[in-house]
Chain A
Amino acid sequence: MSILDGKVPAGPIKDKWTTYKDKVNLVNPANKRNIDVIVVGTGLAGGSAAATLAEQGYNVKAFCYQDSPRRAHSIAAQGGINAAKNYQGDGDSTYRLFYDTVKGGDYRSREANVHRLAEVSTNIIDQCVAQGVPFARDYGGLLDNRSFGGVLVSRTFYAKGQTGQQLLLGAYSAMNRQIARGKIQMFNRHEMLDVVVVDGKARGIIARNLVTGEIERHSAHAVVLGTGGYGNVFFLSTNAMGSNTSAAWKAHRRGAYFANPCYTQIHPTCIPRSGDYQSKLTLMSESLRNDGRIWVPARIEDVAAIRSGELKPTAIPEENRDYYLERRYPAFGNLVPRDVASRAAKERCDEGYGVNGTGEAVYLDFASAIIRYGEEQATIKGENDASESRINELGKDIVKAKYGNLFDMYKQIAAENPYETPMMIYPAVHYTMGGVWVDYNLMTTIPGCYAIGEANFSDHGANRLGASALMQGLADGYFVLPYTIGDYLSHDIRTGKISTDTPEFAAAEKEVKDRLEGLVNNKGTHSVDYYHKKLGNIMWEKCGMSRNEQGLKEAIAEISELRDDFWKNVSVPGGAYELNQQLEKAGRVADFLELGELFAKDALDRNESCGGHFREESAEVGGPQDGEALRDDDNYAYVSAWEYKGKPSDAVLHKEQLEFNDIKLTQRSYK
């Protein structure tokens, strides 16, 4: 084990980034023309990085597995993006956004990175508005805000329930401008299958053309991974079907340490599972918790009547409802952070109060918001004698304007009308805070290989606050990486074109081909999905919302066994050199089968509860915080960074000690 250096600049936290930018090495415009950069992934992080690097003059090659860069999964983010603009005059500031994010992450993120994130957050909104992103506005024509969990201010900017879509299309438009100029060469329907390391530096990738199956070599002076998170290791998650860990995992296998794999965000408000055929879960935006109240019946006999269909939720009187978040956390109520809300839902359902057939659902109710808005509108319109039904009508119009598309989506999936009856929701895997370890420069432990956005680990600690993923993706891509990568590339101005005709490229290509051919020639008995579902089941049962030593040890053994079985018995139809969606999936599941084991190993090592990682052995006993997560700062205030040594069981742990100079570590209370 070694101690890792995060390369955080010296000086007061407020000045670190400014000083860094003032002193960083630059590459002159003429030299940028001779430098190539590969960007893998075209979501908010990858897309914004590719566009900005190309604007600066680098030659960018961008890759995505989708048929267009516009389809990366950032597109599905609903609720919003945080920025410390303080347009509402409610006491927000850069410091407060920094503080909320560090606290929200349960003091397991790197202070300096988070402060930088808070600093550039305001630039993001300016940049996006200049690009034509149609954020929501009020009647005065100025930008509107809403609140998200874990904070006491309104700093979230949004575009209906499609904020991720609009921000991504903004980054996509910036990319398109550079594609048209020839500064970005775009490779759609290409999947990165290895990083090529030459003389200790990342110098290119091996990619598979998903249409022809052809294996291609691409070289560059640096490689940037904006390849998202690994939530699909759970099989069921809110991620897109194709979201995967493969690019990050290949980098890990080539020397990039993988940090905090056990930090996973289980999002409290998703549409519950309806059957075994389920292929993915759908999120209902956290913004709904601005106006929705979460409850279960207070009386167990009502639960039985609800499940059998004899009782409708709307028929349960107020006094027989348990608004458990408002009860347990009066200060934050329904807007507690995600990890807290998820565990509270699980606690109620484990106690038998779940409200659907599977026993895994709670209500998210808009009835009181509809009345509140309706009364407000009646006053505005001077309808002092408005009837109850008129108030309802007025209130529904407001709720529709705010959340209409989310309500429509719910109706399509669940076949119930959330304007009339409460939504049913349950937690689901949504985001992974863990990822490739990076230093302050966003560089991995492979020189010249960078990881940005959800693919890295640095900004969200053990729990991400709502509307912070979009912020981080765009901060890294638009405003951080373009500076930090220049520092590295300034040493490469005399290197010249990187050849792909080298033993390193040949060896990496051969490895990729051997693996693909091995998979299609295996002729086993089980489909890829058979293994993926089994893996997902182990992960959810033993590495899910709460974890314990015995379960984690079992998970490690079971995943390792499942992986051996996969390589012996998986069946992949078709050939390696053609469009073959089963083969694509097989490669991704093979990597998940390694990551899953490291995930469990990391969760076992971290014998404390923090953020989304809840160890049953480490909870408060007695007192006002009874049952809440109990951190152990003396022993675990570090980042776990794992080095690849063949099997996940042989992975070596390196630690980056987290130092908090500007924030005092306290029990994270939302009571």
Chain B
Amino acid sequence: MNLKLKIWRQKGADDKGKMVDYQVANISEHMSFLEMMDVLNEQLVNSGDDPVSFDHDCREGICGSCSMFINGEAHGPVKGTTTCQLHMRSFKDGDTIFIEPFRAKAFPVIKDLVVDRSAFDRIQQSGGYISVNTSGNTQDANATPIPKHDADLAMDAAACIGCGACVATCKNSSAMLFTGAKISQYALLPQGRVEARDRAQNMVAQMDAEGFGNCTNTGACEVECPKGIDLSNIARMNRELLSGSLK
């Protein structure tokens, strides 16, 4: 198929940036979206132009590097899918595709489609861990049985890949789904209960300090999350926060 691409080009953080038109031809429906971008970049390199910069690494939907806003949706039109797992069979010959970076105040653009998501790391550093040293002397892994239901819910929350689609898609640029997922994972496990309340307080404070917005319950984050992290994680975060504040 032949496609028209409208891609956000921005030389650096201080550049204003603009949409630029490109054409690609003979795109196979079996290609992934990023392989289509490879074709474009090969074309640009061969004609001496600057190829489009974008983050990507594992290309199997788990590292969370890829981060494009495609036709107005984070990771494009297919539900439960990262950009790298989106295939060109979701598009048709003659389509025009709009490709932009994930936009949020807390995710400044570095170049083209590459944004700075280090605010997510700082939220994790403010409490996204259980305080246990490596010693080899922790108790036996089976010493504390954990109900399967809780373990499974914790796993569902822990499946977050930290891509930032929730923030990019939220009209308030809120990071509550991301933050709530980590708080939930530990709140559901006995090992994490000890620090649960402080963790919620500290991570939410950091989230606010980074300039992420508030949650107004529109639920767009849940819809766009490629890993199906659900809104109950935000509710659980709020519960931890509230019970912590009443202590």
User: Which residues in A have some Cβ–Cβ distance to B below 8 Å?
Assistant: 48, 51-52, 55, 66-71, 73, 75-76, 85, 87, 120, 123, 125-132, 134-143, 159-160, 162, 165-166, 169, 172-174, 176-177, 179-180, 186, 188, 211, 238, 240-242, 274-275, 277-280, 282-283, 408-409, 412-413, 415, 478-479, 482, 527, 529, 571, 573-574, 578-579, 581-582
Please encode chain B, from 30 to 67, with 1 for each CB lying within 8 Å of some chain A CB and 0 for all others: 11101100110010111011110101111111111100
Tell me the nearest residue of chain A to B48, going by C-beta. A573
| A275/B111 in contact, CB under 8 A | no
Contacts of A66 in B (CB 8 A): 57, 63, 65
Given A176-B124, A579-B111, A134 and B154 contact (CB-CB distance below 8 Å): yes
Beta-carbon contacts under 8 Å, B172-216 to A: 185-186, 189, 191-192
Enumerate 18 A-B pairs (CB-CB under 8 Å) in ascending A order.
A67-B118, A68-B120, A126-B138, A130-B132, A134-B152, A141-B145, A143-B141, A160-B159, A162-B159, A173-B129, A186-B121, A188-B121, A241-B58, A275-B28, A275-B30, A573-B50, A573-B51, A582-B51
| A126/B117 in contact, CB under 8 A | no
Tell me the nearest residue of chain A to B47, going by C-beta. A573
> How many Å lie between the Cα of A238 and that of B132 in the bound state?
33
Please encode chain B, from 148 to 185, with 1 for each CB lying within 8 Å of some chain A CB and 0 for all others: 10011011001101100000000000000000000001
Contacts of B192 in A (CB 8 A): 132
Tell me the nearest residue of chain B to A243, going by C-beta. B57
| B121/A166 in contact, CB under 8 A | no
| B151/A275 in contact, CB under 8 A | no
How many Å from the CB of B37 to the closest CB on chain A? 10
| A571/B45 in contact, CB under 8 A | yes
Contacts of B64 in A (CB 8 A): 68, 70-71
| B60/A127 in contact, CB under 8 A | no
| A574/B159 in contact, CB under 8 A | no
Contacts of B159 in A (CB 8 A): 160, 162, 165
| A529/B42 in contact, CB under 8 A | yes
Given A174-B134, A240-B63, A241-B59, A137 and B85 contact (CB-CB distance below 8 Å): no
Query: Of A130, A409, A574, which is within 8 A of B138 by CB?
Result: A130
| A174/B129 in contact, CB under 8 A | yes
| B151/A134 in contact, CB under 8 A | yes
Beta-carbon contacts under 8 Å, B85-134 to A: 85, 87, 89, 110-111, 114, 116-118, 120-121, 124-126, 128-134
Beta-carbon contacts under 8 Å, B191-247 to A: 191-192
Contacts of A131 in B (CB 8 A): 129-130, 132, 191
> How many Å lie between the Cα of A169 and that of B161 in the bound state?
10
Secondary structure class of chain B's binding surface, majority of residues: loop
> How many Å lie between the Cα of A574 and that of B80 in the bound state?
35
| B62/A123 in contact, CB under 8 A | no
Contacts of A282 in B (CB 8 A): 59-60
Contacts of B55 in A (CB 8 A): 67
Contacts of B46 in A (CB 8 A): 527
| A574/B186 in contact, CB under 8 A | no
How many Å from the CB of A168 to the closest CB on chain B? 10
| A409/B129 in contact, CB under 8 A | no
> How many Å lie between the Cα of A325 and that of B103 in the bound state?
51
| A76/B63 in contact, CB under 8 A | yes
Given A75-B58, A180-B126, A242-B57, A479 and B134 contact (CB-CB distance below 8 Å): yes
Tell me the nearest residue of chain B to A405, going by C-beta. B159
Contacts of A278 in B (CB 8 A): 35
Contacts of A529 in B (CB 8 A): 38, 42
Tell me the nearest residue of chain B to A528, going by C-beta. B45
Contacts of B154 in A (CB 8 A): 132, 134
| A409/B60 in contact, CB under 8 A | yes
B1 within 8 A of A: no
Given A70-B162, A571-B45, A582-B51, A140 and B145 contact (CB-CB distance below 8 Å): yes
| B129/A67 in contact, CB under 8 A | no
Given A71-B65, A134-B189, A527-B42, A277 and B35 contact (CB-CB distance below 8 Å): yes
> How many Å lie between the Cα of A162 and that of B152 in the bound state?
13
Query: Of A51, A75, A172, which is within 8 A of B63 by CB?
Result: A75
The number of A-B residue pairs with CB atoms under 8 Å apart is 214
How many Å from the CB of A194 to the closest CB on chain B? 23
Contacts of A123 in B (CB 8 A): 136
| A408/B151 in contact, CB under 8 A | no
> How many Å lie between the Cα of A68 and that of B56 in the bound state?
12
Query: Of B34, B147, B155, which is within 8 A of A160 by CB?
Result: B155
B19 within 8 A of A: no
| B162/A279 in contact, CB under 8 A | no
| A165/B62 in contact, CB under 8 A | yes
Given A135-B151, A177-B129, A127 and B35 contact (CB-CB distance below 8 Å): no
Query: Of B44, B50, B57, B138, which is within 8 A of A73 by CB?
Result: B57
Interface centre among A129, A132, A529 (most CB of B within 10 A): A132
How many Å from the CB of B27 to the closest CB on chain A? 9
Given A162-B159, A176-B129, A581-B53, A573 and B45 contact (CB-CB distance below 8 Å): yes
> How many Å lie between the Cα of A187 and that of B51 in the bound state?
25
> How many Å lie between the Cα of A172 and that of B50 in the bound state?
34
Contacts of B186 in A (CB 8 A): 132
Contacts of A482 in B (CB 8 A): 134
Beyond contacts A69-B121, A76-B63, A283-B60: 7 other A-B pairs, Cβ-Cβ < 8 A, are: A141-B147, A162-B62, A176-B124, A240-B59, A278-B35, A409-B61, A413-B85
Contacts of B141 in A (CB 8 A): 85, 125-126, 128-129, 135, 143
How many Å from the CB of B180 to the closest CB on chain A? 16
Tell me the nearest residue of chain A to B56, going by C-beta. A241
Given A126-B141, A278-B35, A75 and B134 contact (CB-CB distance below 8 Å): no
B146 within 8 A of A: yes
> How many Å lie between the Cα of A391 and that of B84 in the bound state?
36
Tell me the nearest residue of chain B to A280, going by C-beta. B59
Given A172-B124, A173-B128, A127 and B53 contact (CB-CB distance below 8 Å): no
Please encode chain B, from 1 to 38, with 1 for each CB lying within 8 Å of some chain A CB and 0 for all others: 00000000000100000000000000010111011001
How many Å from the CB of B133 to the closest CB on chain A? 5
> How many Å lie between the Cα of A142 and that of B148 in the bound state?
8
Tell me the nearest residue of chain B to A71, going by C-beta. B63
| A279/B130 in contact, CB under 8 A | no
> How many Å lie between the Cα of A198 and that of B192 in the bound state?
45
5 shortest A-B CB distances, which residue pairs?
A: A141-B145, A173-B129, A134-B155, A130-B138, A123-B136
> How many Å lie between the Cα of A581 and that of B37 in the bound state?
13
Contacts of A242 in B (CB 8 A): 57
Given A141-B148, A162-B159, A579-B111, A176 and B128 contact (CB-CB distance below 8 Å): yes
How many Å from the CB of A433 to the closest CB on chain B? 21
Contacts of A51 in B (CB 8 A): 134
> How many Å lie between the Cα of A51 and that of B132 in the bound state?
11
How many Å from the CB of B2 to the closest CB on chain A? 15
| A169/B56 in contact, CB under 8 A | no
How many Å from the CB of A404 to the closest CB on chain B? 11
> How many Å lie between the Cα of A441 and that of B223 in the bound state?
49
How many Å from the CB of A254 to the closest CB on chain B? 27
> How many Å lie between the Cα of A578 and that of B65 in the bound state?
20
Tell me the nearest residue of chain A to B132, going by C-beta. A130
How many Å from the CB of A116 to the closest CB on chain B? 12
How many Å from the CB of B106 to the closest CB on chain A? 14
Tell me the nearest residue of chain B to A188, going by C-beta. B118
How many Å from the CB of B176 to the closest CB on chain A? 19
How many Å from the CB of A414 to the closest CB on chain B? 9
> How many Å lie between the Cα of A92 and that of B139 in the bound state?
20
Contacts of A578 in B (CB 8 A): 12
Contacts of B35 in A (CB 8 A): 277-279
How many Å from the CB of B227 to the closest CB on chain A? 9
Tell me the nearest residue of chain A to B147, going by C-beta. A141
